Amino acid sequence: SQKIEQNSEALNIQEGKTATLTCNYTNYSPAYLQWYRQDPGRGPVFLLLIRENEKEKRKERLKVTFDTTLKQSLFHITASQPADSATYLCALERTDKLIFGTGTRLQVFP
């Protein structure tokens, strides 16, 4: 069955550094992958979508890569700020449904 792995441990980084979050998947080749941000007690907020024929996508301080050979997506936040602290979820397309990973909690400290 489809398995999506995100770092279960929290990622703690210093303000100004680049945060890199990993999403690995097995047993499937999704047509696209999405990244969401979720704050405690709130609904996820869409950040970026990357398709299987795209290697990289950028939006302001965010960058996503998609390596279909490694079955991995990397999510980067450059010049991180304390306001970036949240849980970040990756979601893979599977037969027109979105399958979410369990998320990685990012903590940016001053």
Partner 1 sequence: DSGVTQTPKHLITATGQRVTLRCSPRSGDLSVYWYQQSLDQGLQFLIQYYNGEERAKGNILERFSAQQFPDLHSELNLSSLELGDSALYFCASSVASSDDTQYFGPGTRLTVL
Q: According to CB under 8 A, which residues from 70 to 89 bind partner 1?
A: 89
Q: Does 62 bind partner 1 (CB under 8 A)?
A: no
Q: What is the dihedral of CA 50, 51, 54, 56, to 10 degrees?
A: 10
Contact 73, 66 (CB under 8 A): yes
Q: Does 13 bind partner 1 (CB under 8 A)?
A: no
- The C-alpha atoms of residue 4 and residue 6 are separated, in whole angstroms, by 7
> Of these, 64, 93, 105, 108, which contacts partner 1 (CB under 8 A)?
93
The contact mask relative to partner 1 for 40-59 (x = CB under 8 A, - = no) is: -xxxxxx--x----------
Distances (CA, A) of 108 to 2, 35, 88: 31, 18, 13
Q: Please, what is the minimum distance in Å from the beta carbon of residue 36 to partner 1?
A: 8
Closer CB to partner 1, 74 or 98, in the complex: 98
